Structure 1
Amino acid sequence: MHNDVTATGHAARIATVDALLPAPLPFEVGGDSALLSAEVGDTTAAGLTTCTGLGPDSPRSMWRALVEHRLEVQLAGPDPAAGLDALLTRWDEHLGSLARVGDTECAAVLSRPSRDTAGATELLRHGFAPVGVLAVRPAQRMAAGPDATPGVCIRHATPDDLSTAVALQLELQRYDAQFGRITLRPGVEELITKELLHHLERPEPQVWIAELYGQPLGMVVLQMPDETGWIRHRVAASRVGYLSSLAVSETARSSGVGTALAAHAHQVFDEAGADVVLLHHAVANPRSTPFWYAQGYRPLWTGWQRRPAVRSR
């Protein structure tokens, strides 16, 4: 079986699924990566495995297990679900020689195009759960700007807002940690403080505070199109904005603060010429999932995770 043949068939199939998905390329093996393959009749599957590790003091450690085994998947042929099932079995065998049984700081992770639902049952059968979504919102180019929300004023954050920003982000992290995308670690407040201070000390910080009748109760953090090279390859668009986080104090929920912040963020991205805006959210979060889709987002990629990567048998 040839990887480029699978890639070609996979690309043709994906092109019919979602116009905002980027065109996939044949896998290239390098470093510690490995290529796995499987065949089921006329269906072929290819997977590129990689492993990355972080220290617990890394800011990124809040968003993942310390060790992540990742699998990129390409499926071609008449039965992609069966192809994925066979590939996952091969990956299980591969992981058995690399990961310790029951290690909760070791996760097996893969992303699938959200609208390519073939194989969802097989992922569940192999112990994976849909944990996070990379959602996309095409630009709307609001010439008149968003409608004003009574009582809400949005302004640039300054270093004087650091304590407020940290408190809002901590509240968001603690709530989201219930749903599997976030790991609360010792020193999380220090990590958040350092990251927000880095944003606030920039010449033009893309951190915005929402005040409700003069009281700061919400915050949004943005990455502009010239900063999003790390995620631009996930969408078929040239200029990509990324909404890093939006936090609203529990006391201000359902007050319009979150909607006002989102509308302001979209206006900023529109003015910067962004073609699309991306953001991550937890699938199981009962607040963020309906909120973001009411703001014009939809799922683009779904992140599936099994943690620990190797379960006890």
Structure 2
Amino acid sequence: MDIAEPLLAAHRARFAAIDPLLPPAAPPADGERFDVATADGTQVTGVLQRQRFAPGDVPMLWSAADTWQLFPYFGDTGTAGVDLLLRALKARLETEETGADSACVVFWPSRDAEAIRAFLDHGLVPLTALGVRTAPPPEAEPGITVRRAGPSDYETALRLAEATFGYTGLVASPRRENTAELLGPGLRQALAAEEPAVWLAEEDGEARALAHCAWEDVAAGTEAAELLLPGRWGYVNNVVTVPGERGGGFGRALMSHVHRELHRGGATRTFLYYNPTNPLSSVFWHRQGYRPLWTSWEVRPASALR
């Protein structure tokens, strides 16, 4: 999809100036397009995509069933340009039937404060962040055993992985009734494979924390390259400490081990997704050296967009 060349150039310049860890801004997205003009006549463009998921689709773990995602192109118009695009989106959604399990989403660089002002004004909240870590791996934490999990650990690993969503269902996306069924196949595959990897932190032979991770090779032209710089990254998919054991050092010891293993596998940087609204993970991951690169701003249901 083509947009005006001056607008695209300003869009790319904005990304380059916001954050040195952002890759070059991706080409315009496909989807439904709308154009709006600012008070001084500058054109800004929005591209709208709609995704619908069935109950058995894995993205239902974190996504609304009916998602309207806006891709804004507002160049150097700042808050005013984003405001106009969100007003246009609201008008567009008023022509649709949007149910309770729906959302409006904008995935945007975390450091763009001018855009944040408009997101907040229109009722969007920072529901998910893609955090990145570029520091070298830490030293080992003594006193806690960490080992690679295997197929025989499936029941334990599934119980721990599911516990993550019991808590995040209170502070982020609502927990689905079929969470275990959605998690199970991918986790079983990970436990049986060489990569990705699952690790367990143990005390007295009992699992206290789990980390489900992988390596991500980001190459130019791929979907991942729209979010991350090229190279080999470590991906931290799911980390959980047994309720009642949080704050006991198990998560810290586990991630100390995991970061060294991911580095040993060739990853000099790691990334993950966490919920800024989660009072546990938002503190824990920042202490582990992560900081937000992209943030998913959402409003649920979609009709609640202001």
Q: TM-score, normalised by structure 2?
A: 0.91
CA-to-partner distance for each residue in 1:225-267, whole Å, 9 max, x for gaps? 2499653420223222211011110222111110111111211
State the partner residue of 2:37: 39
Equivalent in the alignment of 1:93 = 91
| Number of corresponding residues | 302
CA contact (8 A) 2:200 2:209 kept: yes
Give the partner amino acid of 2:34: L
1:158-177 equivalent positions in 2, closer than 5 A: 158-177=150-169
Contact 2:46 2:72 in 1 (8 A): yes
Match of 2:210 among 209, 219, 239: 219
Task: Give unpaired runs (5+ residues) of structure 1.
Answer: none
Q: Is the alpha carbon distance of 1:56 and 1:2 closer, same or farther for their aligned partners in structure 2, counting shifts above 3 Å?
A: closer
Q: Secondary structure of the residue that 1:224 maps to in structure 2?
A: strand
Q: Distance in 1 between matches of 2:272 and 2:103?
A: 22
- Report the Cα distance in structure 1 between the residues aligned to 2:195 and 2:227, rounded to whole angstroms: 26
State the secondary structure of the residue aligned to 1:76: coil
> Within 1, Cα distance between the matches of 2:54 and 2:25?
31
Task: Name the SS of the counterpart of 2:295 in structure 1.
Answer: strand
Letter in 2 for 1:276: R
Change (3 A) 1:256 1:176: same
Is 1:52 matched up with 2:43? no
Amino acid at match of 2:95: S
Which amino acid in the other structure matches residue 126 of structure 2?
P
Tell me if the contact between 2:49 and 2:68 (Cα under 8 Å) persists in the aligned partners: yes
Alignment pair present for 1:195 and 2:183: no
Q: Which runs of 5+ in 2 are unaligned?
A: none
2:244 and 2:151 map into 1 onto residues whose CA distance is 23
- Structure 2 counterpart of 1:270: 263
How far does residue 204 in structure 1 lie from its aligned partner after superposition? 4.6
**1:109·1:303 contact (CA, 8 Å) conserved in 2?**
yes
Provide the rounded CA distance (Å) in 2 between the counterparts of 1:219 and 1:50.
Answer: 35
> Are residue 293 (structure 1) and residue 289 (structure 2) matched?
no
Q: Structure 1 residue aligned with 2:177, among 186, 205, 218?
A: 186
Contact 1:61–1:183 (CA under 8 A) maintained in structure 2: no
In structure 2, the CA distance between the partners of 1:124 and 1:7, relative to structure 1 (3 Å rule), is same
Matched, 1:130 2:103: no
For 1:148 and 1:69, the matched residues in 2 are separated by 44
Q: Distance in 2 between matches of 1:272 and 1:227?
A: 15
Identity of aligned residues (%): 29
Specify whether residues 227 and 168 from structure 1 end up closer, same or farther in structure 2 by C-alpha distance, changes over 3 A only: farther
Runs of 4+ in 1 over 6 A off after TM superposition: none
Partner SS state of residue 303, structure 2:
coil
Kept in 1, the 8 Å contact 2:122–2:305? The answer is: no
Residue equivalent to 1:3: 4
1:171 Cα shift?
A: 1.4
Q: RMSD over aligned Cα, in angstroms? A: 2.2
- Structure 1 residues 109-118 or 303-312, which shifts more? 303-312
User: Which deviates the most, 207-216 or 290-299?
Assistant: 207-216
1:111 to 92, 95, 107: 107
In the TM superposition, 1:242-253 aligns within 5 A as 242-253=235-246
1:280 positional shift? 0.6
Corresponding residue of 1:62: 61
CA contact (8 A) 1:139 1:270 kept: no
Q: Indicate whether 1:238 and 2:225 are aligned.
A: no
Q: SS of 2:25's equivalent?
A: coil
TM-score, normalized by length of structure 1? Answer: 0.89
